[in-house]
Structure 1
Amino acid sequence: MDLNVIDFYVFIVYMLGIVLFGVSFSLRKRTPEEYTTGGGRLPAWAIGMSIFATFVSSISFLALPGNAYLSNWNGFVFSLSIPIAAIIAVIYFVPLYRNMKSESAYFYLEQRFGLWARIYASIFYLLTQLARMGTILYLLALPLNVLFGWSIPLVILITGLCVVVYSMFGGIEAVVWTDAIQGIILVIGALVCLSVIFLSMPDGPQQVFTIANEANKFSFGSFDFNFIESTFWLILIYGLFINMQNFGIDQSYIQRYLSAKSLKDAQKSTLLGSLLYIPVSLLFFLIGTALYSYYTAMPDLLPMELHKAENADKVFPYFIVTALPTGLTGLLIASIFAAGMSTISTSINSSATVILSDHYKRYIQKAPTQKTALRVLYISSFIMGALGILIGLALNGVESALEAWWALASIFSGGILGLFLLGFISHKVKTTAAAIGVLCGLLIISWMSLSPLIFYGSWIGYSSPFHKNLTIVLGTVTVLFTGFILSFILDKKNINDKVL
């Protein structure tokens, strides 16, 4: 299937426009602080839009409608957990990081538990971002290869290079402002799609809801309490922990807290970005449900191979190409790329900041000149972006590797949230208890993530019986429980030693 010439030019103009706009921020002189936090002068609404755009990756753009098309609205429960995490962040996390006066999210961990905690968290964060960038680039290219025959390696390479260019030269300002533009395009594109679906139904827009209701498409899933199936409560708890991790210890979010003009603006932007995702994710789920009704009412419009469950994620892109008016298709393809590019650009910029703050300044030069610091940021951005592209290329055609990377991403990030909460909740927990707690948490996370791949049926052990979404939950709880218990035991031992 070929993309219309007009649509192709719309797409190309968008890509070039975004790159040139991002690079334009490199034309004026600036300091390393401006590169990483925008000098603390960015408007709250733009930061909020950037947070929102980071939430919505290309995975969300394709997977949420695909999920709703295939099943129901159980996945939307994740969005319902966001207000809880956002309120906690606004009250506790944002003031904490604003008061620290450090651009690194992991400076706090060093203050609480020592240098080891900062090194551990920062390295695992970088590994998480590499897995994230590679996976997003690969999943972005996959449906475009199926629909248009575009080369997967070529899509990964061109998309990756475009993001690397404006992220590397433009800094956080380029990331935030391009995110804001991409977020707006994404919402407009999704609204246009939904409108076309409703207006194209043979018996009118109400037919969408009639067909969907008959198929129980609006269900939030079972309300039973169990740890094996994807129930309402399991997704809600999973979402709460994931969003606590985002708001509490993700470098990209902390940089946005610091890029606002004031504490109040930082809190506003956090609420705006997080709460905006709720109606937009609802929009994506509604699109998936509407597509189910659309192709149920007119089944001949969908090729037989796309009726298969494993191809659910390709239904939305197919609709974009075949059902939208000329010009709008190009805009929607641009929206898919916008979703992926915004997430990747955020990862590149935050990773470069971590490399400078947590590693270069710690091991090589404690007080580099502004020129040196900027050079480190540029080089780090390029290296992280290039590695992300290479990982995306390595994932091409290897489904088991894709699953392994997601499992490793859980391992890389899971213990950091537990360590952060351990230090934040109690000031009595010391280094030894925290380190053992993290180790125990990582063992649980590794078992739950990797056991389906390497442990099942072997003498080492058996596959985890828990739902995969509980990995970060049980891992974090293990870190907290172990840390608190050991802290209590060690404190009691110290008291007894003093008495003796």
Structure 2
Amino acid sequence: MNWIDWLVMLATLIGIALYGIWRTRHIRSSETHMRGSDDLNWMVIGFNIMATQASAVTFLSLPGQAYEDGMRFVQFYFGLPLAMIFLSIFVIPYYYKLKIYTAYEYLENRFGVNTRVFTALLFLLQRGFSTGLSFFAPSIVMSQLLGWSLNFTILFIAGLILAYTYVGGYKAVSYTQTLQFSVIWLGLFLAAGIVFFQLPADVHFSDALNIAGKMGKVNLVDFEFDLSNRYNFWSGIIGGAFLAISYFGTDQSQVARYLGGKSLAEGRLGLMLNAMIKVPMQFLILGVGVLVFVFYLFNQAPLHFNSNNVNRLSGSAAEQYQVLETQQKLVFEQRRTAVDQMMKAMRSGDDQGTALAKAEVETLHATELQLREDAKTLIKDHVPDAATKDTDYVFISYVLKYMPIGVIGLLLAMILAAACSSGASAINALATTTVIDIYQRLYKPEASDRHYLRMSKFFVAAWCLISLAFAFSAQLFDNLIQAVNIIGSIFYGVILGVFLAAFFQPKVKGRAVFIAAILTQIIVIVVYVLSEYKIDLNLFGWIIPVRVAYLWLNLIGCLLVMGIAGILQGVMPEKGDQNRVDASA
């Protein structure tokens, strides 16, 4: 990488971190460190919400997902605008009225301490794991660039995130996220524009779009109702909505963003800004991946995108890999000719010629895919510890090879800025939840403010270490963006069910919802395992095939908690009224 790229990347990242430290150097209270000063306007809230969700995983994994599977993943976000409207009307008014630090404080007022602690622990578990993935994703980039070991690179990224989060807490996260989000948008538009302009001069935007469509990459909406299909309109609009309601309404890393607003109106407007921009943003990221796919129809792609794996081959294995590359080159040249023929036929309106050329392109593309699989098998046979799934390397491989000097540094800064943004807000939320919902509530309810400030900083460091442990296991997942959403779907539905029971089931009390939440979490994990590993359920001799896509786990978990809690409340009256705050409060 050129020294100019290093300068751009490091100046951007270090400059943002130093700005956050400088702006928060005088923080001396635990409230400001954990919650802020309730002074954010709606635009900053909206940017912070989006920056918190848009991790490095988004920019590394989504373009590769689109390269391999097209744009159907965008359906995952179709339910998000509905979720933002729901939260603005029914949820955040409770939080602002009670002036709480964390979302889980409300649950004690409503259901008792057991439910509060249980849901807080579910959040800590899944968010700690997801934060580990946000450390791991940018480490893929840096390990490729620097030749460092992956684990050492993870430690390097975590240290960068820890620096300003430890010093400034919530306020440092808020100040830096606005700058980080600006870098993200600049990088996205540059990436999309440069990929398009690097296509052959005679390939217009309409040509690129038509070619992508013929190759099945512009598969935006699928209306077929299929519970086993991860990404269709129904899983997105229903399952995605429930996931978004739970994530933005009960995950402290997001709740903290709008609880720091000047008023309820500012918090609502921030959520609405997220509703308007998030789907177009994901569309743009996936679009970059599709453009990279079209680019590689006219330029030979690497046989395997993870160059680290290829560099580890030696001797006869390296020679076999070179043979596969030679075969790929021949297939590419034939496919390039067929793509040109297909483009000319489409321009002239020759449907028959288009169909014939498309069939040839698809046949040759299938041949290339088989060569890629052969390369993965070769790598796996000779480098047993290698993770051969390489879709997360597609975008960064393209950036490093084809982007102009300076832009490479900016795009790497974009990816790392996203990692810092999501990682810092998550670590701050994990520390705040641990201090407020566990440590202060159960162990030290009457300590000094100075003590809580010290513990807030301690748990920032502790959760960095815990997330690092999760990060070291991230290589077990084929696709990082799916891993994050799968983990969330396993836990978020249960958490959301508890909150919706608090809001909309006034007769349900603490013991019933606590037991319902535990039972439901067990059921959701069992359903996921049966679905993921295609295991049939044997229920008293009845064989039931369980095939449920992970997005539906959010709906299943939510409805089961509310349903079981309602039944239990009817047959198991609460001992003593723990419903200290009415649901309409």
Separation in structure 2 between the aligned mates of residue 343 and residue 222 of structure 1, nearest angstrom: 30
CA deviations 1:281-321 (Å, max 9, x no partner) are 1110111111111111x232x21224648423322111211
Query: CA 1:277/1:164 → structure 2, altered by over 3 Å: closer, same or farther?
Result: same
1:421-460 deviation digits (Å, cap 9, x = unpaired): 1111111112232123212311221102334678948999
TM-score by length of 2: 0.78
Counterpart of 1:168 in structure 2 is 166
CA offset at residue 79 of structure 1? 2.1
**Bigger mean CA offset, 65-74 vs 160-169:** 65-74
Does the residue aligned with 1:116 lie in a helix, a strand or coil?
helix
Q: Is the 8 A contact 1:433 1:484 kept in 2?
A: yes
CA distance in 2, matches of 1:469, 1:339: 24
CA distance in 2, matches of 1:179, 1:319: 27
1:485 is the counterpart of 2:571: no
Equivalent residue runs for 1:393-408 within 5 Å? 393=472, 395=473, 397-399=475-477
Rounded to whole Å, the distance in 2 between the matches of 1:109 and 1:34 is 23
In structure 2, the CA distance between the partners of 1:458 and 1:249, relative to structure 1 (3 Å rule), is: closer
Query: Paired residue for 1:383?
Result: 462
The residue that corresponds to 1:196 in the other structure is: 194
Paired residue for 1:96? 94
Answer yes or no: is the 8 Å Cα contact 1:42–1:260 preserved in 2: yes
Letter aligned with residue 264 of structure 1:
A
TM-score calculated relative to the size of structure 1: 0.91
Of 213-222 and 168-177, more deviation after overlay is shown by 213-222
Gap regions ≥5 residues in structure 1? 493-500
Residue 475 in structure 1 maps to residue 475 in structure 2? no
Q: 1:400 to 1:294 in 2, by over 3 A?
A: closer
**Structure-2 change in CA distance of 1:29 and 1:346 (3 Å):** closer
Q: Which of 310, 318, 321 matches 2:397? A: 318
Structure 1 residue 259 and structure 2 residue 260: aligned? Answer: yes
1:303 has 2:302 as partner: yes
Residues 489 and 551 in structure 2, CA contact (< 8 A), matched pair in contact too: no
Structure 1 residues 30 and 147: alpha-carbon distance in aligned structure 2, compared to 1, 3 A threshold: closer
Name the SS of the counterpart of 1:468 in structure 2: coil
Alpha-carbon shift at residue 109 of structure 1 (Å): 0.9
Aligned twin of 1:216: 216
Q: Within 2, Cα distance between the matches of 1:55 and 1:14?
A: 20
Aligned length: 487
Q: For residues 222 and 48 of structure 1, what CA distance do their matches in structure 2 show?
A: 29
Distance 2:118 2:191 in 1: 44
Q: Deviations over 1:383-409 (max 9, x none)?
A: 11122123213x165449989997665
Tell me, yes or no, if the aligned pair for 1:53 and 1:179 is still in contact at 8 Å: yes
* Residue of structure 1 aligned with 2:450, choices 345, 354, 371: 371
Q: CA deviation at 1:56?
A: 0.8
Alignment of 1:77-92 (within 5 A): 77-92=75-90
- Is the CA contact 1:97–1:257 (under 8 Å) kept in the aligned structure 2? no
Tell me the distance in 1 between the aligned counterparts of 2:410 and 2:235: 36
- Which amino acid is 2:304 matched to? E
How far has the Cα of 1:150 moved from its partner? 3.8
What are the equivalent positions in structure 2 for 1:231-250 lying under 5 Å apart? 231-250=232-251
Within the candidate set 396, 400, 408, 1:329 is matched to 408
Within 2, Cα distance between the matches of 1:140 and 1:459? 43
Aligned CA-pair RMSD: 2.6
Q: How far 1:470 sits from its partner (Å)?
A: 1.8
Aligned to 2:471: 392
Contact 2:77–2:236 (CA under 8 A) maintained in structure 1: no
* Larger-gyration structure (1/2): 2
Q: Secondary structure, in 3 states, of the residue corresponding to 1:38?
A: coil
> Mind listing any 5+ residue stretches in structure 2 that lack a counterpart?
306-368, 374-388, 575-585
Q: Tell me the secondary structure at the aligned position of residue 93 of structure 2.
A: helix
Query: What is the CA–CA distance in structure 1 between the aligned matches of 2:15 and 2:122, rounded to whole Å?
Result: 34
- 1:279 corresponding residue in structure 2: 280
Q: What CA distance in whole angstroms lies between the structure 2 residues aligned with 1:274 and 1:372?
A: 39
Which region of structure 1 is more displaced relative to structure 2, 445-454 or 381-390? 445-454
Residue of 42, 49, 52 corresponding to 2:50: 52
Relative to structure 1, the CA distance from residue 199 to residue 81 in structure 2 (aligned partners, 3 Å threshold; closer, same or farther) is: same
Q: Are residues 1:436 and 2:515 paired?
A: yes
The alpha carbon displacement at 1:205 in A equals 3.0
- How far off is 1:45 after superposition? 1.5
Which moved further from structure 2: 11-20 or 320-329? 11-20
1:4 aligned to which of 2, 5, 20:
2
User: Which stretch of structure 1 is more off in the superposition, 450-459 or 245-254?
Assistant: 450-459
Deviations 1:228-266 (A, max 9, x none): 123221232221011010222111222222211111111
Identify the residue that residue 527 of structure 2 maps to in structure 1: 448
The partner residue of 1:182 within 175, 180, 183 is 180
> Equivalent residue for 1:142?
140
SS of the residue 1:293 aligns to: helix
